[in-house]
Structure 1
Amino acid sequence: MIVGVGMDMIEVDRVMEKVRKNKGFREKIFSPQEITFCEAQTHADQSYAARFAAKEAFLKATGKGLTLGYDLAEIEVVPDAHGQPHLHLHGNFKAIALQNNWNKIHLSLSHLATVACAVVILEQ
């Protein structure tokens, strides 16, 4: 049963401006695995923006937003062997998912040169 849907769209430049101007922003928002993945991409800026949108979309899907906590690196976008992105939750977010019996999390990412978007669907 679907219990939450979240969507986020963000300008790529907006995310990259924060990455460039705020020294700790990247490490605070993205996991080491996400950073490694994004930096290996031809368009790293688009990859960062899509992952940021995924984190925001997940928070919207929960219906609680940032009241769940602020450690966005605990919401991790990880590609499978075929390159399909999946959300892996850690720490506080993993505990909340278990408490709410969110046993399936669907994620779709899309990006262009200037915008990135993500959709998250939570199921019980």
Structure 2
Amino acid sequence: MIYGIGTDICDIRRIKASLDKHGERFAQKILCEQEIITWKQRSARWPERGVRYLATRFSAKEAFSKAIGLGMRMPMTWRLCEIAKLPSGEPRIVLHGGLKEWFETKQLKAYITVTDESDYAASFCVVERTN
């Protein structure tokens, strides 16, 4: 049974402006530890790719927060929600700490998709109850 659906579109230029203004501190607010590593690697090879990575993660976490019905309030926080990927490249949500406990208690499962094109990153999330 579907628990919730969330979608988000993010202007990549806005993310770049925030990075230019606040530097790495902005990325550290949005990304968890593993995502920071990936962001730094991508940014070092091609800075635009790093910005797009950050924008897709921002968008995906927003879509997820809407699908679970919490928005950005506890236990949902940017850093407790990780957007990882399977070896196939398929994105998946990995939760940490109190958010993971809350999610598992409710017996939920999430599906996420992310995309970016030119100036925008977009995400779509479906959360289902597994019981």
**Pair 1:10–1:84, CA change in 2 (3 A):** same
Q: Give the drift of 1:91.
A: 1.3
Structure with greater Cα Rg:
2
Cα pair 2:70 2:76 within 8 Å, conserved: no
Counterpart in 2 of 1:110? 115
Q: With structure 1 as the length reference, what TM-score do the two structures score?
A: 0.89
The answer to whether structure 1 residue 27 and structure 2 residue 45 are counterparts is: no
Indicate how the Cα distance of structure 1 residues 70 and 16 shifts in structure 2: closer, same or farther if over 3 A, else same. farther
Q: Is 2:17 the counterpart of 1:12?
A: no
Aligned residues: 123
Computed over aligned residues only, the root mean square deviation of the Cα atoms, in angstroms, reads 1.6
| TM superposition shift of 1:46 | 1.2
**TM norm structure 2:** 0.85
Cα distance between partner residues in 1 of 2:40 and 2:88: 19
The share of aligned pairs that are identical, in percent, is 28
Provide structure 2 residue ranges, at least 5 long, that are not aligned to the other structure: none
Q: Could you list the runs of 5+ residues in structure 1 that have no partner in the other structure?
A: none
Task: After TM superposition, list the pairs within 5 Å mapping 1:1-124 onto structure 2.
Answer: 1-23=1-23, 24-41=25-42, 42=46, 43-69=49-75, 71-102=77-108, 104-124=109-129
Mean CA deviation greater in 20-29 or 35-44? 35-44
Partners of 2:76 and 2:91 in 1: CA distance: 22
